Amino acid sequence: MACNDKNPLLREGTSLLNRMLDALATSFVKPDERQEADLLLFLRRYSTYLNYYDSSLTVADDNWEPFMKMDISVTLAVLMRLDAAKCSDYKKLLYKRIELSDTDIKAQQQFTYVFDLTFSLLRLVSEQYHLLPDSFELKQQLEATIKTKILLPAVNLKKLYDDFEIEGLIPNSLTTDSESPIQTKLSSLFKLTDLGANWILPAPVLGLSLPVSLPDIKSKIVYIINHNFFTAQVEALLKAISTLAEKAANLFSITLEDYSSHTPHYALIIAFVKLFTTAQNELNKYTQRHLDFYYKEVLQLTNKKAIADSVHLLFELQKPIPDRLIKQGTLFKGGKDKLSGKDLNYSLDQDVVLNKATVEKIQSIQFLQKTKETLASAPIAVSEDGQGAKLSSADKSWFTFGNPDLLVNAQTGFAIASNLLFLNEGIRIITITVSFATGTTTFAEASTLPHTDFFTARLTGIKGWVDVQVQSIGNTIGDQLTFTITLNPNDPAIVPYSESIHKENIETDLPLLKIFLNQSSPFSYSYTTLSADRVHSVSITVEANGIKNLELSNDTGTIDASKPFKPFGEFPDANSSFYIGSKEIFQKNITELAFVFGNKIDYTEEIQYLSQAKWVAINGSTIGTNAFSINGSFVVAAKDFGPNEAIKPTTVEGFIRLKLGVETYSRTSYLTNVKNQINNTTISKTSSSTPTYKITTGEIASPSELSLSDFSINYKAAASIPLTSVNTSANNKFLHLTPFGYYEVYFNSEVPSAKITIVQEITNDGELYIGLNNTEPEQVVTILLQVSDGSSNPLKNEEEVTWYYLAKGNTWLEFETKDLVDLTHNLTQSGILTVTLQPDISNLNTALQKGLYWIKAAVKQNPDAVCKLITVQAQAARVTLVQDEATGIEFTQTLPATTISKPAATIVEVKSISQPFESFNGRANETDEHFYLRVSERLRHKQRGITVWDYEHIILEQFPQISKARCINHAGFYPAGDGSEIFCENYPGHVTIITIPDFRNKTGIDPLKPYTPIGTLVNIDAFLRTIISPFVKLHVKNPQFEEVQFEFSVTFHEHLDEAFYGQLLNVEIEKHLSPWAFDTNGQLSFGGKIIKSAVLNFIEERPYVDFVTCFKMHHIIKRNGATHITEKRDVEEATPSTARSLLVSYANEITKEKHLINSPATCTC
């Protein structure tokens, strides 16, 4: 058989109700089952056999019956024992006999018995009513019933009888039926006057006319017994008799307990009956004594003793006390037992050392499966949305790793702390290149087009953080990811990080660039993709153009560069110097430097830089029309982010000197030029007749001046941060930005193979961080983790929870087994976590809040497989009830919260003790009824799981929180390719257990889909494996709830609120399909089916519904949130698709959608 073939063994399973065996009930068969009314009626009948003697001791013709039938209690006993159900069954028997009779005479005889029955009931009621004393105050209740419900049917039946007698349908019978449930009399003798003269009889309704076409008497009688009018009269009478019997039963109890008008002799009889019930009860214990003899004496089995309950306590020490040992067995006052009034004491389970440790902060992260894998964070985990919203659940629980529907994306990425980022002005371009080890990165693209929304960036501005746009390019060539940021001249200056300004608790004095992954962008990289590859190095390049904030001077003093200036002074000689200083520029590793000015110059200069108070020549300079470019190397100055300072004799670095290489602009050059011009002066005679002399002189040029305008500097600088070798630079650091902090990433020579990624590598789908305060390494801390029972996702398998601590260097290390005791069973139940803080744990880390010692709980996948948490508090201990069989102190009921607040003997070092939650694990003494059931089952299965019956009954006995179990033989699960599981109904060697919890009075279980918590399933699995064959492949799972949704249009009656009645109809459909969710007596049923027409009929019968159109039924087999994965649309009949399936009413927990009801009906289908 294939996996998709249905399992041929169709069973309902075993529930708490059908587990009970009637035969084991001590009241199943009683030797004497008579009640008080039966005993009084017996005495009345017995009195007819007692002869009455007169005063002369002569036997009279009468008996003792008159003495026994006149009391009010006997009269009511007669009425209450009128069994209308038996009379109805007898009536149906007579009808059947009539239809099966082969002669008219037989049909007439049975027809007469019908009237014998009804008229005898009327006589009996009338007689007993008249026996009631008028002084009985409640007699009016019976009278009202007779007047309103009996008299009219009586008159109608008498009228019909007379008519039928005339028609010849009633024979002159002289016998009554011995099979009648009551003693009957001949109907021919009945008269309406027999009911009593004080009754005002109503007029009869018109009689019943017979069709003339009926051929014989039998046909006429058959026609009559099937006629609505005749059957209505008989049914009305029987229904009235039933009502009368119920009221008589209530009044009977009153007359026995609170009626003072009994005759003396009958009061003694009633007293005798009361006393007789004591002996009767002893006699009726025969069944119990028989069971006790066999089970308890022969088999030597006993009832299970009570199991003591346990309580979690929280302690607080007095302020000056650092720690205190509380010994095992220390007693605490548990108040008084409400049933016995005795004092209860609870004993400490084991030694506990109390200290000052407290849980200071709780945070969490979780990977969400959206359009891509997204990292979300909850900075305030103890809140509804992880951001601090008020908790909305009744038990104030919160999602351990954050509510996936409300969490916000985490701000994570990386940061660069570098003096290269000290950029005050101009057009500034920052380029970060991340180089990966080898091979093409998983996220790099062949395209070189930059993305502007994949990342966001912030820089440390002079007044706060500056948000800037960052362009990113993932290049497959060279395995690089490049980030580019451009700042315009009007953007703020980028300065070193200052805690007073930037306020993010980052320990650095360098300018800081933070780059965040923009997880909100639908096209950006996923976090896991970005953190997959090893980073080799990170390089930083900055380019600044138009730097004018410079310290300029020459040999004669400082220079004001806001207007044209003479860099070497007036008439500079050769070797005159022009000094340029900038703390922004010269502390960086300059790769290119250019002096830009507004006018043209044509001279040669020598360029030098100051290093260790010595001027060193720079090679590689070029002269352009309007700029000098220098490509030589510099010895960088020490980092200094203060304002520029003028050069002094003591200055050792941070300046460049330009030396003038020509005398062109000196005073000597100018005077020499004048002298030469004078020496070249000539006088010549221009005319002989009239002597005229001409003096020829050379033109003396104005003194040459060297001046500059619009002076600025352009430069480029670069640095590299190696991540596969030791970083020797203190001016450049690579940081990881975590959701709640940061830490420096660097090569660790002790672990050279450690993987460094561009963002923090997180390998767990969910992590819970717990910050401890007031503690220290090597201290033992006990932490109470109170969970909301049943709040884990029941459709997931149990996930292992691993605990870590944050060691030095922001490194998470796993606790060793010997240093941790976790009683929460992977956060599926409440318990105490006991951890020994390791010597290398540190509170100086920055990945999370500094100053706290951090531990974390992590799951690899399925964060919703753990329960929601209610509280996480330190200094916890568990105490257990001290039971004493001799004094009768044992568990009887759960201890309410806040009951325990004091020890039995004062402990002066302890300031306070609190019990935040009620006790758990208690179980009362086993009752005899349960003992009989358990032993009878044990004798059958012998504590071995072999048959399906064995599995189911063993589970219900061992786990009282389970209300129903179903064992499916030769069925199991096998893994699918996507990580899910596929159910196979024909899987030899496998056994599947499906359980349904007892959800009555439970707040953590959805009654429409009652899933068993994961922790319980795991416990069932572990227990069963100890009693079944090791060759059985066991699967303990929840049922598959398949939903049925109805879609239709409806018109309600006029003047009805459509919104209200639409909602009411939705609720009524839900109650109709899932009655167990609203009625404690309702039972979930495997198998079965839902027929569309039946539900349509149910809807049409609602008194507020006028008509329904376009009625459709949808069968949703599998659903994930609001997405229907597998469904059948518009079906006529819905049947479960698997042996583990249950049909339930549709209810979408995401959209809150239920059945699709449109009103008013407007469709034309």
Q: What is the CATH number of the domain that holds 371?
A: 2.60.120
Is the pLDDT reported for residue 125 higher than 90? no
> What is the average per-residue pLDDT within 899-926?
94
**Residue 193 falls inside a structural domain:** yes
Report pLDDT for 449: 57
Report pLDDT for 700: 64
Report pLDDT for 623: 55
Report pLDDT for 1165: 62
The answer to whether 1009 touches 1074, Cβ cutoff 8 Å, is: no
Single-letter amino acid, residue 834: T
Report pLDDT for 627: 55
Q: Are residues 85 and 227 in the same domain?
A: yes
Q: Hey, how many other C-beta atoms are within 10 angstroms of the C-beta on 1067?
A: 13
Residue that is last in its domain, among 203, 220, 249: 249
Report pLDDT for 141: 78
Banded pLDDT at 917 (limits 50, 70, 90): very high
> What is the average per-residue pLDDT within 1116-1120?
89
Is the pLDDT reported for residue 904 higher than 90? yes
Find, among 554, 543, 610, the residue nearest to 578 by Cα. 554
Cα separation, 939 vs 1135, whole angstroms: 37
Report pLDDT for 1112: 93
Q: Which residue has the higher pLDDT, 529 or 544?
A: 544
Q: Are residues 333 and 471 in the same domain?
A: no
Q: Helices in 284-319 by DSSP H: which ranges? A: 286-292
The answer to whether 411 touches 739, Cβ cutoff 8 Å, is: yes
Report pLDDT for 683: 67
Report pLDDT for 724: 74
Report pLDDT for 780: 96
**Residue 136 falls inside a structural domain:** yes
Cβ burial of 559 (10 Å; 0-12, 13-18, 19+) is: buried
Q: Are residues 204 and 171 in the same domain?
A: yes
Banded pLDDT at 612 (limits 50, 70, 90): confident
Q: How far is CA 1014 from the centre of its chain?
A: 13
Distances (CA, A) of 1044 to 615, 1066, 1156: 89, 13, 11
Residues in the chain, total? 1165
**Residue 12 falls inside a structural domain:** no
Report pLDDT for 1045: 94
**Residue 789 falls inside a structural domain:** yes
Report pLDDT for 408: 92
Banded pLDDT at 702 (limits 50, 70, 90): low
Q: Which residue has the higher pLDDT, 865 or 56?
A: 865
Residue that is last in its domain, among 1013, 1037, 1061: 1037
Bridge-partner residues for 738, per DSSP? 741
Q: Which residue has the higher pLDDT, 136 or 1145?
A: 1145
> What is the average per-residue pLDDT within 549-575?
84
Is the pLDDT reported for residue 1133 higher than 90? yes
Q: Are residues 479 and 456 in the same domain?
A: yes
Is the pLDDT reported for residue 688 higher than 70? no
Quick check: pTM over 0.75?
yes
Cα separation, 983 vs 199, whole angstroms: 72
Report pLDDT for 1009: 87
Is the pLDDT reported for residue 305 higher than 60? yes
Is the pLDDT reported for residue 595 higher than 90? no
Residue that is last in its domain, among 967, 1002, 1037: 1037
> What is the average per-residue pLDDT within 807-811?
91
Report pLDDT for 324: 94
Is the pLDDT reported for residue 440 higher than 60? no
The domain tally of the chain equals 8
Report pLDDT for 369: 74
Q: Are residues 994 and 1116 in the same domain?
A: no
Q: Are residues 218 and 94 in the same domain?
A: yes
**Residue 1048 falls inside a structural domain:** yes
H helix or E strand, kind and range, residue 806 = strand 802-807
> What is the average per-residue pLDDT within 72-88?
90
Report pLDDT for 703: 64
Taking only Cα atoms into account, the Rg of the chain, rounded to an integer number of angstroms, comes to 50
Banded pLDDT at 100 (limits 50, 70, 90): very high
Reading the block at residue 546, the tokens are 């138009």
Q: Are residues 478 and 424 in the same domain?
A: yes
Is the pLDDT reported for residue 862 higher than 80? yes
Is the pLDDT reported for residue 824 higher than 80? yes
Cα separation, 485 vs 497, whole angstroms: 18
Q: Are residues 1105 and 1011 in the same domain?
A: no
pLDDT digits (tens, 9 = 90+) for 640-681: 888 988 888 888 888 888 887 777 666 667 677 777 777 777
Angle, alpha carbons 601-602-606 (nearest 5°): 100
Report pLDDT for 131: 83
Cα separation, 864 vs 782, whole angstroms: 25
Q: Are residues 804 and 788 in the same domain?
A: yes
Report pLDDT for 606: 74
Q: Are residues 699 and 649 in the same domain?
A: no
Cα separation, 1146 vs 1123, whole angstroms: 13
**Residue 919 falls inside a structural domain:** no
**Residue 259 falls inside a structural domain:** no
Report pLDDT for 93: 93
Domain that holds residue 1125: 1040-1158
Is the pLDDT reported for residue 814 higher than 80? yes
Distances (CA, A) of 292 to 19, 286, 930, 935, 937: 20, 10, 13, 11, 16
Banded pLDDT at 1 (limits 50, 70, 90): low
Report pLDDT for 59: 72
Report pLDDT for 754: 75
φ, ψ for residue 466, nearest 5 deg: -110, 115
Residues 6+ apart with CB under 8 A from 369: none
> What is the average per-residue pLDDT within 500-521?
93
Is the pLDDT reported for residue 1163 higher than 70? no
Residues 6+ apart with CB under 8 A from 233: 153, 156, 157, 160
Residues 6+ apart with CB under 8 A from 132: 72, 75, 76, 139, 142
Cα separation, 771 vs 640, whole angstroms: 37
Banded pLDDT at 1066 (limits 50, 70, 90): very high
Average pLDDT of the residues of the chain: 87
* Percent of all residues in the chain with a pLDDT value above 70, rounded to a whole number: 92
**Residue 486 falls inside a structural domain:** yes
Residues 6+ apart with CB under 8 A from 501: 460, 462, 463, 464
Is the pLDDT reported for residue 384 higher than 90? yes
Reading the block at residue 246, the tokens are 């119920």
Q: Are residues 864 and 765 in the same domain?
A: yes
Is the pLDDT reported for residue 696 higher than 90? no
> What is the average per-residue pLDDT within 401-417?
93
Report pLDDT for 1105: 92
Q: Are residues 239 and 123 in the same domain?
A: yes
